[in-house]
Structure 1
């Protein structure tokens, strides 16, 4: 993957630095104002910083990953995003980390949080009404995370112990295909992309996805890279698993309606079965076990779950709003740009 086109002064300055050998520099100022979740420049800059901890960029030297100047710049970006994320998720006077009510098990608290979440039924639209171009757009958005699926949450494993650690390992082992490359969820998603005649290379649609799509990925990386966000990372994963089975069933139905074969649909069908089990393990054993060990961090778990639900709702609102207006949900997207070989 190569560095994308800058989307403002932050990314222009940052990418100019990253194309050179690692060196000391003063962090560029991070402008305030406007919702951080919609800030294209902020989200792309943060995504680029985080990507150095994954597969990186071809023209960026690996030594940049732990360069103190870049970490200082990332810290300023993270500060803006953490503040913006809290504003997006919590409406005053809600506290930053709402405590778990006395006598309420974590599994029940998470279930109530999921049940209270409301948003546009993107999955129902994809199942019944979306055309092939719209389904490809949806897959392009999701490719930013699904081509590295499970990786951000894996950072929690060495920070856990006992029952919650075992539970997370159980979930992640399934995500990575039980050691079989062809069953890894990222590889199953590649098969879906190929079945839709899309470019399945890592980061192929980074240029096209908007801030909200990057924000979803950035939040997982933020939680995964900082030990102080361990509870939020676990809550995020639990919400992810608890809201997965039904939508993935709808995605599979939609893809079958549009002519997708069994191989192309396997990614979604796999999640219908696997996540029905994962949600119980994540809510009860992983999050419940973590809170039993660390009662004071129950609010962190719930906050992480709320972040996952809120960002998914905002993503659905973005996509459905543009489709209702008859325009693409991607940035300057054209149908040809979603086809394999177009790059």
Structure 2
């Protein structure tokens, strides 16, 4: 994928609609340039909940709540028929997630599991021990659609919390958004990383070549953020990210130093080594503890959010490692 990745120096001026990956996403991409209120296609009854077509269609619906698309009327964001389609896709996706995770109510056990030393064999360890610079660049591309909106879905939960949980989550988000400094917003630091690695830093520039497992992870964040009924799952997801980020980032710093990577590449992960070690304590002691003291019935939802995050991260890991070990790119080609 060297030719695909070698496109530095361009900043997107309004995101274009994505390239379809199946009949539903094709219908949706064809529909959105039309006037809001135009007929919306139904979801196929047998569509794969983890497949490219559903995940891209869902991602396209969600993006209307973020930055939108060039040539698409902003009024589509709240079009009732499009929301009905989105809800069909969300139910298919959420039902599949619930069917694959063990569930339960023991939040402390899930947090303790996340705090255990990471097992060998993950993507950061692979990149540190045997990966190539090109595979590191593919990893940057894969994670770009996540880091371009890293903290944004979590912000939707703020008005759904109260008291100490709200104050503590806002404190963590304040750090994610640069502590009041635009040049230190984590999404901006990731854009700096992309440029330093000779990659395009435009918002969601690489969406078309990021595979379905990573799309599903980002779609899950939006799903949890947009539904008040899933506020516990969103906080569970946030806890999982903050607890596991610091150790993984430390390994990625080691991988980057093996390649004498540019300073801006190292800076992004070095920032997460220190910041997320603090965030993990705040999320556990202040956000989760207070939330569950106020609303103990959300324990099951919190566990679901943690386990669903693990499930989708594992799917991303499996795809990347299996492709790389077979000598293939982990990014999408025309063949999928």
TM-score normalised by the chain length of structure 2: 0.91
Q: How does 1:166-205 map to 2 (within 5 A)?
A: 166-205=167-206
Correspondences of 1:74-223 after superposition (within 5 Å): 74-90=86-102, 97-100=103-106, 106-107=107-108, 109-112=110-113, 115=116, 120-223=121-224
CA distance 1:109–1:134, change in 2 (3 Å): closer
Q: CA deviation at 1:216?
A: 0.4
Name 2:5's counterpart in structure 1: none
Aligned mates of 1:225, 1:40 — CA distance in 2: 21
| More displaced stretch, 216-225 vs 148-157 | 148-157
Change (3 A) 1:109 1:206: closer
- Is contact 1:147–1:202 with CA below 8 Å preserved after alignment? yes
In 2, are the aligned partners of 1:120 and 1:313 still within 8 Å (CA)? no
1:215-247 deviations in whole A, cap 9, x for unaligned?
000000000000000000000000000001111
Who is 2:39 aligned against?
Answer: 25
Structure 2 distance, partners of 1:223, 1:118, is: 27
CA distance in structure 2 between the partners assigned to 1:149 and 1:63 by the alignment? 25
Whole-Å Cα distance in 2 between the matches of residues 186 and 285 of structure 1? 25
Quote the residue 2:80 is aligned against: 68
CA contact (8 A) 2:237 2:309 kept: yes
RMSD: 1.7
Deviation at 1:281, TM superposition (A): 0.8
Tell me how far 1:128 sits from its aligned partner.
Answer: 2.1
Q: Distance in 1 between matches of 2:214 and 2:270?
A: 23
- CA distance in 1 between partners of 2:185 and 2:215 (Å): 23
Question: C-alpha distance in 2, partners of 1:318/1:289?
Answer: 37
- TM-score in terms of structure 1 length: 0.89
Structure 1 stretch displaced more, 54-63 or 217-226: 54-63
Which one of the candidate residues 44, 52, 55 is aligned to 2:67? 55
In the TM superposition, residue 23 of structure 1 has moved relative to its aligned partner by: 1.6
Aligned counterparts of 1:119 and 1:167: Cα–Cα separation in 2: 32
Q: Which runs of 5+ in 1 are unaligned?
A: 91-96, 101-105, 334-343
Superposed CA deviations along residues 241-296 of structure 1, whole A, max 9, x for unmatched, are: 00011111111121222221222211100000000010111112111110000011
- The answer to whether the 8 A contact 2:197-2:262 is kept is no
2:287 aligns with 286
Call closer, same or farther: CA 1:31–1:330 in 2, change over 3 Å. Answer: farther
Which deviates further from its counterpart, 79-88 or 170-179?
A: 79-88
CA contact 2:36–2:79 (8 Å) conserved in 1: yes
- The alpha carbon displacement at 1:148 in A equals 1.4
The number of residues matched between the two structures is 320
Post-superposition offset of 1:29: 2.9
Answer whether contact 1:107 1:284 (CA < 8 A) is retained: no
Partners of 1:223 and 1:119 in 2: CA distance: 29
| Matched-pair contact (CA < 8 Å) for 1:10–1:41 | yes
Aligned counterpart, 1:267 = 268
The separation in 2 between residues aligned to 1:117 and 1:74, in whole angstroms, is: 36
Alignment match, 1:41: 53
Q: Is the contact made by 1:114 and 1:309 (CA closer than 8 Å) also made in structure 2?
A: no
